Structure 1
């Protein structure tokens, strides 16, 4: 995700702290910005949709989704956002919360009076999102011009809603579980089907096929949160559907471990949901009471789950043609796990869960140790009934090591506390180039550093044994572009250690003469440098190495390696990278892939510059 400006850390609320402690999350600062970040400003202007949350007169949260095309929202001032959208003015619960209940035509104007509003501006096609929180300054709701000329009886049913909001918090979120959809505008033609807390058949059908929803929660009168939840179609399961209110449950997948939505639910057991049908424009709106299920409680309801949210519907609305957009499916998130069924459904789903045609797997076929902690692994793709997936330069591969490594639930695991919430799904950048003559089409390579459970498992692999794991797909779009730079410009790539891999996977398609590689690497990993330069002999002349921990490696092989690298044309600096090293590079765009510490420094050094970056965690 592109750089975000720094800010003073917000304190966690009591619910967030409580849940993080229960789930053994190491203490960390709240990454939420206390303003609309630069990245957030860009997203507000570019994203075609925004999920919104607001409280009704009874302090119950509701959610909706507005938009349909880029430009419906914009940044008026640094922290002031405006939006204008065609909405269902009668049945949309957020419209009613903001403008009151009215089926009358004409214009309605409201002063914000500090009313809380939350949002998540979201670009599904590019898998990007930013959460927002603020206060409404003012809003208007007007009839569209020329309404009902077609005689469809829609006078007073839809309107142009305009909001001006002062943003007080923003936070970029990861692309996990965001399914790619191409968003196009559509005219809402709202028709209310049901207001019963017992969901009608149409709502059941929508929920059973839905692959996402938006959820809003709040903490006292000080903060509110709206976010996206995605999964496989049908990941929201219906436990019961009685007149007193349907009961649903969904699994919380491995995420950023901030638990902001769930932290609110720890203190205030209320949430507002909207489940959109991107094909028809229908929507299910619900305000619910919630119960967070952890460990055994979760698994007893939803198989193979350690964290889930159970919801009881207090009020619901099913509205046909409610939304001002449609979504054309493009691609499922490669992170999407299989559906987790209710324990009560288990017997009837055994046959369907074992009949999964087209499952892609990978076999580990070779390993080359490049340094004490870094190795290159080659995998061979296979598929039980479908097409073998292909990848593009700069993409990542997503593996599931759950069957290999998951040892089941345990109350405490001091040797690896993070594994309590580990789904063993791992993303590694592909370090081979597609179509390379040295690799068959059904093989690819990754280069990784040994770290926690999964990478350690790879390093321990015995070549005499078979290691085969499911592969969820290829993804990502970290593309290095040297074709459109100016005549006197270069393309700087800043790498920290293993952060060289996105570049290695693209080098055959890059004009190396226009590249400037600045690579910070430990002396212990000099073997990785030798391997990369051996593969690409022209690269050293475009490279500056910043070698750290030189004082800890003094053997003759290391010194000879430095001499060989320098003789090949590389510049060697036995020190850490600094801001002055980046100062005079003529470039419009900088590329960066590193760990968190170096990333933070570089983004600070390059303030005001266009920086495209990826970071890596394990």
Structure 2
């Protein structure tokens, strides 16, 4: 009977546990190839693999294409047979020296106990993976003829590798984005190599939703995966990268190794094209305020200084079709230098000086849209069209959980939300333009008009205004000032999608709604006609200069009645907004406030014209 003996934590892992105040726990790593890990090798279509080069720099690569290319041989040994890039793959070069001229086979035997290696067998469709570490026993590289239906045979480079597995550990599926993998032939071309990112490397990282990393100590290696939304790895400069460490299983094996040895090897695959970016460099682990200073919204991050990177075109033996992203992916956390609003808020706010907002009124306008009124003790200074950042963590943060399938997005949620202030200023110094320039006193109240789309807004919709809900006010910001065209200069047009109309509300008092200097084009779902009707009742005259595009069906009698009321006040068409609706109009300035998809489409229609919009994607 075989049994598994747990591994002790290394000194670096223990440092990470102390730094992050992780409760005592056993290391679940097995000192052998477990049956579960062996089974995973047989079913996984991909294998991320890491080793060290002659300068002791870690590199990572990605092999495979279909299940069965890597499998247990018995006795803790594992065999891998895969097509590889024998010329530019740094791991292949480190293991067997690369392909020889003339296609002759080349075999490398283990010396001094074998070269340190580590692997990650991974199935992106089932979201399962297993880590292994051990030593290289032997490797052979040779050219082989590969048959392709309907074509002549193609010569490819094949690697055969035997490793002795000394450790294994199953990993959670938390941030695995699904891809359906299929084998493909290689036609590798080294596009760039150097100490800084090329244009191609920058583009690949900017769209990547995963990468693989290798770390090492004097006697151990680790290969793992990091995933998130596309662009979650941020480019600080052509020589520096940064990424947030999301809430995970709290073992911190990769970061523990980096505590002892900051060197790291990364690979970014392009599943669509087969291109690949290899990087080796050095890291700095950032925690707490250091992490949030670089990547606001993060309490743990890794900064990477690139030593060498290689971009290889069609250097992967597989292709992948993107399927479902991980439900645990948070929003992209941009750098403080990229204008991340949380950076400005955290630098100007301390808990001791932070204000609170008291919910005093809730008005349901549609099944998914409501207006909330808050009062602020001591008052609040803001300008019309700005946003306010509110902190709901005291109400919603329940502490650490590894997985939470009923609400996966909440595990990396700081529960800070920004909402457009939709109320007009009560005091504007008498100039009537709503810009607050003449404001001598702080506002006692503010309103937000929002759609129910997630945990925080869902929580707000459940609240009773008499319950005394208080939330933290982190600050206000942004600038989205809307103006009418001047007399004789045509008109300015505001294009809104749904609740994207809210920045307009606080500024209507300063607009010319009578003489044709302003127009609203508003795309609204049929079920949200209640918002449209409420808007036209609150702001008389706005309907006369508005064109409303109703989409979807509003078949209920009540909604149909509202629709008829709206038609009596504004030009209403029951279809999507189209290119010709925008392009036939002449405007001095276009204001666009809509979701990312609609905004991209509309701004594309308006190429070459003056367009003003604020990015509300945070």
TM-score (norm 2): 0.56
Aligned to 1:138: 138
Q: Does 1:237 align with 2:234?
A: yes
Quote how far apart the aligned CAs of 1:8 are. Answer: 2.0
Match of 1:216 among 206, 211, 214: 214
Partners of 1:154 and 1:189 within 8 A in 2? no
Q: Does 1:346 align with 2:339?
A: yes
Alpha-carbon separation, structure 2, partners of 1:199 and 1:8: 43
Partners of 2:125 and 2:179 within 8 A in 1? yes
Q: Does 1:334 align with 2:332?
A: no
Aligned to 1:59: 56
Alpha-carbon separation, structure 2, partners of 1:425 and 1:59: 36
Q: 1:405 to 1:316 in 2, by over 3 A?
A: same
Q: 1:17 to 1:57 in 2, by over 3 A?
A: same
Q: Residue 21 of structure 2: SS of its match in structure 1?
A: coil
Which runs of structure 2 are paired with 1:151-550 in the superposition (5 Å)?
158-220=156-218, 222-241=219-238, 246-346=239-339, 404-405=392-393, 419=399, 422=400, 426-428=404-406
Partners of 2:181 and 2:319 within 8 A in 1? yes
Alpha-carbon separation, structure 2, partners of 1:463 and 1:7: 57
Q: Residue 62 of structure 2: SS of its match in structure 1?
A: strand
Quote how far apart the aligned CAs of 1:250 are. Answer: 0.4
Aligned to 1:575: none
Q: Residue 121 of structure 1: SS of its match in structure 2?
A: strand
Q: 1:305 to 1:424 in 2, by over 3 A?
A: farther
Partners of 2:296 and 2:340 within 8 A in 1? no
TM-score (norm 1): 0.56
Q: Does 1:25 align with 2:54?
A: no
Aligned to 1:397: none
Alpha-carbon separation, structure 1, partners of 2:152 and 2:240: 36
Quote how far apart the aligned CAs of 1:139 are. Answer: 1.0
Quote how far apart the aligned CAs of 1:13 are. Answer: 0.6
Quote how far apart the aligned CAs of 1:141 are. Answer: 0.4
Q: CA-to-partner distance for each residue in 1:459-512, whole Å, 9 max, x for gaps?
A: x99898699xxxxxxxxxxxxxxxxxxxxxxxxxxxxxxxxxxxxxxxxxxxxx
Q: Please list every run of 5 or more consecutive structure 2 residues that lacks an aligned counterpart in the other structure.
A: 344-366, 371-389, 409-455, 470-618
Cα RMSD between the aligned structures?
A: 3.6
Partners of 1:136 and 1:165 within 8 A in 2? yes
Q: 1:383 to 1:41 in 2, by over 3 A?
A: farther
Alpha-carbon separation, structure 2, partners of 1:131 and 1:349: 35
Q: 1:463 to 1:208 in 2, by over 3 A?
A: same
Q: 1:174 to 1:98 in 2, by over 3 A?
A: same
Quote how far apart the aligned CAs of 1:106 are. Answer: 1.3
Q: Residue 145 of structure 1: SS of its match in structure 2?
A: strand
Q: 1:382 to 1:91 in 2, by over 3 A?
A: farther
Q: CA-to-partner distance for each residue in 1:317-356, whole Å, 9 max, x for gaps?
A: 0000000011111100000000000000016999xxxxxx
Q: Does 1:122 align with 2:119?
A: no
Q: 1:32 to 1:382 in 2, by over 3 A?
A: farther
Alpha-carbon separation, structure 2, partners of 1:110 and 1:278: 30
Q: Does 1:81 align with 2:50?
A: no
Alpha-carbon separation, structure 2, partners of 1:405 and 1:165: 48
Alpha-carbon separation, structure 2, partners of 1:190 and 1:383: 53
Partners of 2:99 and 2:157 within 8 A in 1? no
Q: 1:429 to 1:198 in 2, by over 3 A?
A: closer
Q: How many residues align?
A: 375
Quote how far apart the aligned CAs of 1:137 are. Answer: 1.1
Q: Residue 340 of structure 1: SS of its match in structure 2?
A: coil
Quote how far apart the aligned CAs of 1:428 are. Answer: 3.2
Q: CA-to-partner distance for each residue in 1:196-251, whole Å, 9 max, x for gaps?
A: 1221111111000000000000011x11000000000000100011xxxx100000
Q: Residue 331 of structure 1: SS of its match in structure 2?
A: coil
Aligned to 1:587: none
Alpha-carbon separation, structure 2, partners of 1:293 and 1:318: 28
Partners of 1:405 and 1:424 within 8 A in 2? no
Alpha-carbon separation, structure 1, partners of 2:247 and 2:222: 19
Q: 1:18 to 1:48 in 2, by over 3 A?
A: same
Q: 1:82 to 1:146 in 2, by over 3 A?
A: closer
Aligned to 1:12: 9
Deviates further, 15-24 or 74-83: 74-83
Quote how far apart the aligned CAs of 1:152 are. Answer: 11
Quote how far apart the aligned CAs of 1:404 are. Answer: 3.5
Quote how far apart the aligned CAs of 1:144 are. Answer: 1.5
Name segments (4+ residues, structure 1) moved above 3 Å: 146-155, 347-350, 381-384, 422-426, 460-467
Quote how far apart the aligned CAs of 1:37 are. Answer: 1.1
Partners of 2:144 and 2:158 within 8 A in 1? yes
Which runs of structure 2 are paired with 1:555-566 in the superposition (5 Å)?
none
Q: Residue 19 of structure 1: SS of its match in structure 2?
A: helix
Quote how far apart the aligned CAs of 1:429 are. Answer: 9.1
Alpha-carbon separation, structure 2, partners of 1:166 and 1:466: 63
Partners of 2:281 and 2:307 within 8 A in 1? yes
Partners of 1:6 and 1:33 within 8 A in 2? no
Q: Residue 404 of structure 2: SS of its match in structure 1?
A: strand
Partners of 2:334 and 2:340 within 8 A in 1? no
Which runs of structure 2 are paired with 1:568-587 in the superposition (5 Å)?
none
Quote how far apart the aligned CAs of 1:407 are. Answer: 8.6
Q: 1:137 to 1:237 in 2, by over 3 A?
A: same
